[in-house]
Amino acid sequence: MLDLNNIEEIKKADPSGYLPILKDTPNQIQKVWEQFTAQESQSMNFDKIIVCAMGGSAIGADMAKFLIEKYSQLPIQIVRDYNLPNWVDEKTLAIVISYSGNTEETLSGYVQARTKGAQIFCLGSGGKLIELAKENNDQYFILPPNMPPRTAWGHSFFVVLELLIKQGVLNSSDINLLEAIDVMNQAVNLYHEELNHDNNLAKHIASGLVNSIPVVFGAEHLSVVARRWKGEFNENTKIPSYFEEIPELNHNAQQGLECSTELKKTINILILKSNLYHPRNFKRSDIIRETFSKQGFDISIYEIDNDNYTGGICKGVILGDYVSVYLAFLLGHDPVPFTAIEELKGMLKTGEWVETIINS
């Protein structure tokens, strides 16, 4: 098995260069944020928000959703599907995000948003989405091209938040985006590949997950981080993984304690805990570990503490991204390719369907 203390072995295990992307994440997010901040935005009048996005393009909006619900009066819903809810109308801000610009579910949502008269903002690196935005005079912002879509999580996170700051929905002092950049830089310094195993939490966690199915628990602002970890284990590490939300899991997943010993041996549970949690969720985290551990599950708590929610989200994402990549190396996988997803798109004939929906 690969030695995570051997830099040369790590470089050979990373032929597509995922680690340099991770290390440059804070810098790239800051550049995009500054570019969008400098771009003029038209004022919009809306009383609710819908976001159309899938996969790695949706996760940044999920992170923003927590902060929007925390610090604004507006309802927001993330749609990961083809159809928008009936309540979408001309007083709705529809934020449409597709890194490639060609995601069929997202483009379906875009077409419906236009039909319903919603005010539209598009975010992507190109493709049909940006073509349509230009053609229809929608507001849009173009992301840097040629990145694995899931690595653009912070671009969409920061752009969505800054868009709503520009629109007067959020106060920049509540969101602390500049401080979040500093938090990410600190996290990269803690988890990058040149730090040896004994001093690198990400390498330590990855080493304990070999030949297991990670199940990630999180509450409040870290529930979306748990979802991000799950997605990164799927896409980067190429393994099954799942996430659960605290306290909801105590009303269903808790009963899974009674499964067979053989099944328990395949599962490794990671609890993400924060000093910012509601006191009851903070307590639940410890009780969950105690109850699952007593029943023979491999379960650990990892504290993602920070002074504010934005920084806590960013810190948790950086840690999870590094864990998934190191685990990919240990299992002999290049983190970048997503062949199975591309094969599925081919079977679905996504390109043909997109042309159909756009021209209908």
Q: Give the residue numbers marked as catalytic.
A: 235, 251, 345
User: What distance in Å separates the CA atoms of residue 118 and residue 69, rounded to the nearest whole number?
Assistant: 20
Among 47, 73, 63, which Cα is nearest to 97's? 63
Pairing of strands 119-124, 92-97: parallel
CB under 8 Å to 303, separation ≥6 — which residues? 273, 274, 275
Q: Are 264 and 215 in contact (CB under 8 A)?
A: no
Q: Are 314 and 183 in contact (CB under 8 A)?
A: yes
What is the length of the chain?
360
Q: Are 107 and 360 in contact (CB under 8 A)?
A: no
Quick one: tokens of 211? Answer: 């030949």
Per-position b or e across 19-32, b if 16+ CB within 10 A of its CB: bebbbebbebbbeb
φ, ψ of residue 25 in degrees (nearest 5): -55, -50
CB under 8 Å to 212, separation ≥6 — which residues? 266, 267, 268, 298
Residue 118 burial (CB count, 10 A): 27
User: What distance in Å separates the CA atoms of residue 276 and residue 218, rounded to the nearest whole number?
Assistant: 12
CA atoms within 13 A on the CB side of 167: 22
